[in-house]
């Protein structure tokens, strides 16, 4: 019996390692987004500082997480076997849930997930106990429901307070410094830095040192009693030091603030959120030790009163956990996805918008626009002009354009505000013992500062708001799904025993492996979508060529598969082909939608080049349309079980496909080589293809006259011929526009390689 429970405790520690990996992948956004978004330093330096913060913060951990042992339920009323079931259900759920959020690049709260998992699993076991012995205790005696209600209140408080305070502080900071902040930074930078570093210092002491395993209680008491003296002394000290450094070394104070803030948040994450991942396994380990200390005890009758006392976690376990998180931080691609979600929602410039628009977002933007007009009529024009001057980002955008791919997503003023406000709010909430989530605070502060900084303009506001609402909705989904899944797993483990636990361990492993593959595919698709965000003066020609080649490859692939699947009436293949065609269509739409932004990147002397670039994108959009209009009707035809194409029709389409293959192949070769001498011969090929399509259309008309094909068959076949003709026409027109694009670009850059 003891050996079985030893294996189960081993499972808990395996799950703890997995949980540490998926947990840091999600929570990394909390301490990385400001540094990465502002590009304050090379990525390796940022990661190194965060890694040191994690290792250092692990020693500040408050040890065994109280909520894991007695915060949500009363352990003295549960038997050892029941406690192990609760903990296993919690850990399996946590790994699956956090990995799911990481896969889709959505930040969530590890605190909320662990709390509601504990609640769900405990409720399930308590329900079974109450049903089996209704005369003893009710469910309310087993569960501490007040903690869950406090967490829900914390969600709402986090969202509202963090967003509001972040927006207000950023507005004030921008009024003081403007986007051209370097001039004012010489005069007020040291004071701003003193306030910021003092806030971060206070954050470290209040949020971090309170749980340091190496600090005595007297030292902690000394810090608490002298908090105000520490704050004032820190402000004076840092202001003087930063001013001296500014005079002597011309150091950028903002860079120092952002890097120190990154270290502080990483340290606080490891010191406090670490217990979200290892608290439950260590509670299970302590339960097992207590069980072993009572030889001959029945696991189904041994009450876990030992968990009600205080237990310190060995520093060795904390350091191991810190090392695992640090390694994950360096190598996890999913952490990059989560970070990218927040940065894209907060970036200053318009670019690829991952989220669509929603009715609520559109209504909110419309209401805000109308309200703004009302205030503009009330406030004096002179005051409005002064404020708008401070928020004028035209020079900043010109600098960003000149930097190209090296341009930050937002400036150091906003990055420093993000870190300082998040640090202060978290520290203040901790001192008041309010259950504010680190994730909620850091995310909503970043959203508030981006709104205040006018990063959510008319071009992007509806998409950004929809994105924020999606993330917030995910937080509530975290609570609901964590409770539900943990509840069901606890029931399953209670009824199925060791076999059910083993099966779920295997299922969890398979799911994590599968989501890893899904994440790779999503990351690849997102990378394609973000290609346009990196187009600039130097690479526009090459990236356009790459885009055209990729599109043409996709078109001929879809065209061939559609005809093949249509002949076989293979519904499964047609569904797959339609998805491919929809992706081509979506990509071409996005290319056209971003024309304004790309042309804006070009210099004044590239007006003609921009004109031909627009033409190329227009034709590419029409090619995407035509491809989709071939695949979709074919899918609908087979889906509705209409009569298939007759052999003569299939053979004619195969002949057209062969001609189309050669046609696209030659066009692609010309685009790659930029040798346009073959355009005349390609024109002849085009005419041959058009004649072939016209001949096939005449054959179909004859078949209609002879009643050889039905109405649906004829409509589908004629539609494919028409869209094939469109493809043939648009492709040559696109090639000619690309030729002119290359010629004018080479004239401007003094390159005569194109023929």
Reported as a single tens digit per residue, the pLDDT across 380-397 is 888 888 888 887 777 777
Of 527, 550, 578, the one marking the end of a domain is 527
Domain assignment present for 235: yes
Residues 447 and 542 occupy one common structural domain: no
Residues 488 and 559 occupy one common structural domain: no
Q: Any idea which residue has 């979506």 for tokens?
A: 586
Does residue 23 carry a pLDDT above 50? yes
CA 262 to chain centre: 19
Residues 199 and 277 occupy one common structural domain: yes
Residues 516 and 567 occupy one common structural domain: no
Q: How confident is the model at residue 63 (pLDDT cuts 50, 70, 90)?
A: very low
**Long-range contacts for 145-150 (Cβ within 8 Å, ≥24 apart)?**
145/119, 147/67, 147/71, 147/72, 147/115, 147/119, 148/72, 148/115, 148/116, 148/119, 150/435
Mean pLDDT of 239-257: 82
**Is 26 in contact with 335 (CB distance < 8 Å)?**
yes
Residues 6+ apart with CB under 8 A from 665: none
Does residue 93 carry a pLDDT above 60? yes
Of 506, 527, 548, the one marking the end of a domain is 527
Supply the range of the domain harboring residue 584.
535-749
Domain assignment present for 220: yes
- Burial of residue 635, with CB atoms counted within 10 A of its CB: 0-12 exposed, 13-18 middle, 19 or more buried: buried
Residues 474 and 549 occupy one common structural domain: no
pLDDT value for 18: 76
Q: Which of 203-207, 285-289, 467-471 has the lowest mean pLDDT?
A: 203-207
Which runs of consecutive H residues, i.e. helices, occur in 205-332?
A: 217-225, 227-249, 253-268, 274-292, 315-331
The CB density around residue 607, as the number of other CB atoms within 10 Å, is 11
Q: How confident is the model at residue 656 (pLDDT cuts 50, 70, 90)?
A: very high
**Is 692 in contact with 660 (CB distance < 8 Å)?**
no
Residues 462 and 599 occupy one common structural domain: no
Domain assignment present for 755: no
Q: Which residues pair with 242 in a beta bridge?
A: none
Six token digits for residue 329 = 């931080």
Q: Which residues pair with 73 in a beta bridge?
A: 143
CATH number at residue 555: 1.20.58.220
Annotate 538-566 with b (16+ C-beta within 10 A) or e (fewer).
eebbebbbebbbebbebbbebbbbbbbbb
Mean pLDDT of 691-706: 91
Provide the mean pLDDT of the chain. Answer: 79
Does residue 420 carry a pLDDT above 80? yes
pLDDT value for 501: 84
Q: How confident is the model at residue 213 (pLDDT cuts 50, 70, 90)?
A: low
Residues 519 and 560 occupy one common structural domain: no
Domain assignment present for 754: no
* Structural domains of the chain, count: 2
Mean pLDDT of 464-483: 83
Residues 486 and 564 occupy one common structural domain: no
Annotate 134-169 with b (16+ C-beta within 10 A) or e (fewer).
eeeeeeeebbbeebbeebeebbebbbebbbebbbeb
Residues 471 and 442 occupy one common structural domain: yes
Residues 511 and 610 occupy one common structural domain: no
Cα separation, 298 vs 253, whole angstroms: 63
Of 482, 509, 527, the one marking the end of a domain is 527
pLDDT value for 689: 92
Residues 503 and 567 occupy one common structural domain: no
Residues 117 and 175 occupy one common structural domain: yes
Please state, in angstroms and as integers, the Cα–Cα distance from residue 481 to each residue in 70, 161, 496, 506, 700, following that order. 22, 25, 22, 20, 56
Does residue 64 carry a pLDDT above 50? no
Domain assignment present for 10: yes
Q: Which residues pair with 79 in a beta bridge?
A: 303
Cα separation, 342 vs 345, whole angstroms: 5
């Amino acid at each position: 019996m003891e050996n079985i429970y030893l294996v189960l405790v081993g499972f808990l520690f395996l799950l703890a390692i997995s949980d540490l990996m998926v947990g840091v992948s999600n929570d990394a956004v909390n301490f990385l987004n400001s540094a990465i978004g502002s590009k304050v330093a090379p990525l390796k330096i940022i990661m190194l500082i965060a890694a040191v913060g994690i290792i250092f913060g692990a020693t500040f951990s408050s040890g065994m997480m109280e909520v894991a042992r007695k915060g949500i339920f009363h352990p003295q009323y549960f038997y050892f076997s029941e406690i192990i079931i609760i903990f296993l259900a919690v850990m399996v759920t946590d790994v699956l849930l956090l990995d799911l959020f990481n896969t889709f690049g959505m930040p969530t709260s590890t605190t909320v997930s662990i709390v509601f998992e504990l609640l769900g699993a405990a409720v399930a076991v308590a329900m079974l106990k109450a049903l089996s012995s209704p005369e003893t205790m009710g469910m309310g005696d087993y569960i501490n429901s007040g903690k869950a209600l406090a967490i829900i209140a914390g969600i709402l408080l986090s969202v509202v307070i963090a967003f509001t305070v972040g927006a207000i502080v950023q507005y004030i900071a921008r009024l003081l410094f403007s986007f051209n902040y370097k001039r004012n930074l010489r005069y007020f930078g040291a004071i701003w830095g003193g306030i910021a570093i003092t806030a971060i210092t206070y954050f470290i002491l209040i949020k971090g040192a309170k749980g340091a395993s190496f600090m005595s209680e007297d030292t902690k008491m000394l810090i608490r009693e002298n908090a105000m003296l520490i704050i004032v002394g820190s402000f004076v000290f840092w202001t003087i030091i930063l001013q001296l450094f500014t005079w002597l070394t011309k150091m950028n104070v903002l860079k120092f603030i952002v890097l120190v803030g990154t270290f502080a948040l990483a340290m606080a994450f490891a010191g406090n959120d670490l217990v979200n991942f290892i608290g439950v396994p260590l509670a299970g380990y302590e339960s097992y030790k207590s069980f072993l200390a009572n030889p001959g005890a029945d696991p189904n009758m041994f009450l876990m009163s030992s968990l009600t006392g205080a237990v310190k976690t060995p520093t060795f376990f904390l350091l191991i956990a810190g090392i695992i998180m640090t390694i994950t931080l360096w190598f996890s691609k999913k952490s990059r996805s989560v970070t990218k979600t927040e940065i894209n929602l907060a970036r200053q410039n318009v670019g690829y918008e991952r989220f669509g628009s929603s009715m609520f977002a559109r209504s909110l933007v419309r209401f805000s626009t109308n309200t703004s007009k009302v205030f503009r009529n009330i406030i004096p024009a002179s005051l409005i002009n002064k404020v708008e001057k401070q928020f004028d980002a035209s020079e900043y955008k010109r600098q960003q354009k000149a930097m190209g791919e090296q341009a930050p997503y937002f400036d150091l003023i906003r990055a420093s505000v993000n870190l300082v406000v998040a640090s202060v709010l978290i520290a203040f909430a901790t001192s008041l013992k309010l259950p504010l989530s680190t994730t909620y605070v850091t995310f909503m502060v970043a959203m508030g500062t981006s709104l205040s900084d006018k990063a959510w303009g008319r071009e992007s506001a509806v998409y950004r708001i929809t994105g924020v609402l999606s993330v917030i909705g995910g937080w509530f989904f975290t609570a609901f799904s964590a409770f539900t899944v943990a509840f069901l797993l606890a029931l399953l483990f209670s009824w199925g025993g060791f076999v059910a636990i083993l099966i779920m361990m295997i299922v969890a492993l398979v799911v994590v492996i599968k989501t890893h593959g899904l994440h790779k595919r999503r990351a690849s698709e997102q990378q394609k979508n973000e290609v346009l965000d990196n187009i600039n003066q130097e690479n526009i020609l090459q990236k356009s060529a790459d885009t055209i080649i990729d599109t043409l490859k996709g078109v001929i692939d879809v065209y061939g598969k559609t005809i093949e699947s249509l002949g076989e009436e293979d519904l499964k293949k047609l569904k797959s082909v339609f998805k491919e065609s929809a992706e081509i269509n979506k990509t071409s739409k996005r290319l056209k939608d971003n024309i304004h932004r790309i042309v804006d990147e070009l210099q004044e002397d590239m007006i003609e080049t921009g004109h031909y670039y627009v033409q190329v994108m227009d034709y590419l959009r029409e090619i995407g349309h035509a491809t989709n209009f071939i695949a979709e009707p074919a899918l609908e035809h087979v889906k509705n079980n209409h009569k298939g194409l007759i052999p003569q029709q299939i053979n004619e389409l195969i002949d057209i496909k062969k001609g189309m293959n050669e046609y696209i192949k030659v066009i692609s070769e010309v685009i790659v080589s930029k040798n346009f001498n073959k355009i005349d011969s390609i024109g002849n090929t085009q005419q041959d293809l058009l004649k072939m399509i016209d001949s096939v259309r005449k054959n179909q008309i004859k078949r209609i006259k002879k009643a050889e094909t039905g109405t649906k068959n004829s409509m589908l076949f004629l539609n494919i011929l028409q869209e094939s003709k469109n493809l043939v026409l648009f492709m040559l027109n696109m090639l000619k526009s690309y030729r002119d694009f290359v010629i004018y670009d080479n004239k401007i850059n003094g390159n005569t390689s194109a023929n």
